[in-house]
Structure formats: structure tokens, C-alpha cells
Amino acid sequence: MKSIYLALSELESNNGSAALCTVVKSEGSTPRHVGSKMLVYPDGKFIGTVGGGELENRVIKAAKESLTDEQPRHLHYNMNDPSRGDPGVCGGQVEVFVEPILPAPMVIVIGAGHVGKAVAHLAKWMGFRVAVSDDRAEFCSAETVPDADAYYPVAMDKLMEHVKVTRQTYLVLTTRGSNVDAAGLGPLLETEAAYIGVIGSKRRWLETVKALKKQGVSEAKIAKVHSPIGLELQAETPEEIAVSIMAEVLMVRNKGTGKVMSK
């Protein structure tokens, strides 16, 4: 069996996720000592142990929950009386800290024109992993957009066949027209992306909505989209528009309000 430290290194390399569970306090008779570790993957598989039995079952459940809400947990267990809900009869007490290990958030820029290129540059500077997609291969390369980590020169409706979209993924559509959005948005709306933003005027978005409804896309799915994209900054240049877009992405990621802080 591979070591937890090797598994953590692989998570880092592969942009994977798992929850690291560590015994941080042990008093009296307990199954494992302080420092014992277990790494739990989203599907419930694990490496290592924090004690086995019902204690471990409960920690695995908490670990999977931490990967869903992205929050750590400090778990406390008495090991005295199962009839009172304790996970064991050893007689001691144990505390386990559960830390979700999550990949760096990813911005996928769909549409590699002037604004898309500026968004990729800014997102990379802000610490996001960045992927760029465009159905025009000449626009989607390291030569044209040097700040991306990955390039997908495919049509938007085929993009999900090439990249995994998770709750740490932010989709920024800086495409060239409503027809492109209407043709490709459907599969994106089926994902669990944290954010989907579409560039363009209110009129352009209404045209896209009309086309999506004709395809049978539900109101609930359409409501996931932020369009017109970005915060209102009266932005004009590609760089200014990129700031507006990434400000909204950051607001969504950090659960901010977008309000002026001086008021």
C-alpha cells in the first residue's frame, strides 16, 4: 500500500481531492495514538487508519462531508458506551482533525479573443489554474494565449469530453456571439461548476435564453448563468473587462457581496 505522503504528492500533481484525517488528541485507552493518519477519497476509499470500527466509519462520513462543503472538522469522541452513541468501548477519548485537500480552483476561458486572453492572464496572476478553449485552433495555443495551463481547441458542446468540471471550476464564456453560446451552453449547464458567466449585452443574453428554451433547457438551469458577465465597473478595454469578470468570480468564490466597503 502506498504511503499517505506519496498519495498527497499524487493529489498535488493530479489536481485531485481527498480529506486528511489526523488523530490530534488521545486520552486513556484508544485505538490509535496521536499523529495517526487516514486519507479519505471522495468515493469513500481510504489509505491509513485512525482506529477502525465504528470510529473510523464516522470519520470517513465526516471526511466525505468536508469534501462537499470544503470545510474542516474537529471531531470529538468518547469511547465508553455504545448504548449512549459512543463509537467504541475502549474507555478513552479521541479527537480527529479532518482537513479537506482540494485542488486549486480552475478558470476555463471559452473564447480566446481579446477579452478571453486578458481574463486568462489575470486569472493566472490571481493563482487560478487556467484552461482556454476555442473552436478556432489558431486562437487556442500557447503562442496566442501564453498564460494558460491547458488548451482545448474544440467546440463548446464537446468541451466536457476533454476536461472535468467540478465545484472548483469557474466557466468564463468570452465568445464571439449568441449563436456560439446557444449551441454550446447546454452541456455546461449540466455540470456542477461553481460559476458560469457569459459575456455580452442583455439583449444578446435574451436571444441566447430564447434559443436554449427551444432546446428544452429548463429555467432552473438557465438561472445558473451570470449574464451580462462581471461587476458594473463601466469597463471598456479588454483588461478592464477582465478585472470586472474576475471580480465577480472572486465574489462568488469568497461569498462576497460586491458592495462598496466604505458605505
pLDDT band at 43 (very low <50, low <70, confident <90, very high): very high
In the chain, what percentage of residues exceed pLDDT 90?
75
Q: What is the pLDDT of residues 79-97, one digit of tens each?
A: 665 666 555 556 678 899 9
Q: Output phi, psi for 3, to 5 deg.
A: -75, 160
Q: What is the pLDDT of residues 168-217, one digit of tens each?
A: 999 999 999 999 999 999 999 999 999 999 999 999 999 999 999 999 99
What's the average model confidence in pLDDT over 67-83? 81
**C-beta separation of 208 from 178 below 8 A:** yes
What's the average model confidence in pLDDT over 142-157? 95
What's the average model confidence in pLDDT over 3-26? 91
pLDDT band at 229 (very low <50, low <70, confident <90, very high): very high
Render the burial of 63-87: b for 16+ CB within 10 Å, e for the rest: bbebbeeeeebebebbbbeeeeebb
pLDDT band at 2 (very low <50, low <70, confident <90, very high): confident
Cell of 89: 468501548
Domains located in the chain, CATH noted: 4-101 (no CATH), 106-253 (3.40.50.720)
What is the distance, to the nearest Å, from the Cα of residue 105 to the centroid of all Cα atoms in its chain? 5
pLDDT band at 53 (very low <50, low <70, confident <90, very high): confident
